[in-house]
Structure 1
């Protein structure tokens, strides 16, 4: 079997030495076999690198790639990773019982009447008798984690409403690609060929737009996290310099 030093692996794969080490640190790429003071990589490492590259190009995050690779190593299929699955959290049990009481909302989330109304408006909760149906238990559990971290639930919901408004503009821009081309005609007089093209475009635009928005948001979020950490480091370093004077 062909073996490579890390520089040779970088050359044949087209992936930098730095990124190869990043993938190793993140557990995506198995470590090389070390003989003496040299690490040796095999064709299996090259295949894995090519797979990681393709998944990254398609917009998958490191976390998702890791889950997919672990699943594959256990003989699982992709849908086992991507489909919803119950996990051990308390609120995830609501996926079965599908309800939560007003008392639990007050105690767990410190939820005000306004927060509860916003949750209903956003479709997170639906009133059913004396209780509330939980529409998305995973989101609700994520909200609980933020509340425990000191984030007010109303602030989170207000951000959600802002995002919905922004995404309406994004959705409108995608839809306009179709409407600008086809909707200047009378739909009832559209030819069969045009109608089929329109149907195909509508089927295509939804997953495509979803992937574009998800990829762009993940990139923007990473940049904002890096920027925030950089700003915090500047403040910390500045404070350290002042302390030393």
Structure 2
């Protein structure tokens, strides 16, 4: 423990306190010798980084329990299906920077359940760089992360239905498991339809909005 504390740059009593609070896992024991490893050091550095970003020890403990109960990368990617999405590896501190003040156990659990996040050792993996960036931008625009994740769940349902529609339509006329034109055609149709749907929605909103009165 003394060596671990020295490497982490914190007092031994702090390491002991974190251990008692369950913030770091027990060491591996061989007789009377307790062995701490790189995993413990990484966890201590994560705790320090999150404390610097304003998280409380209670909040960090809640986040750790939520995250450790989530799925790992092997489980999420175990099917080996083709994907165009690029995973992003993050430290917990970096994830907190993306969604400042919004990384709560509830939001973390929702992201894990959606399959957006997974674990790989001491790292967090977001399964799509595009979704990570868009989600962070929405939060910066003032949309709560809980609202973003709730909307994502509804979008997932519609996206699954659209995928089934396109796959069924093309599979009926092709012997290939994934016809090469499937993804570009599906994206083009959905992008055009969504663009027109936004036009209709915005026109409807502008029509229903009462006119501004004269300036006083």
TM-score scaled to structure 2, two decimals? Answer: 0.48
User: Greater relative contact order: 1 or 2 (C-alpha under 8 angstroms, separation 6 or more)?
Assistant: 2
User: Going by fraction, where is helix more abundant, 1 or 2?
Assistant: 1
Larger radius of gyration: 1
TM-score (norm 1): 0.43
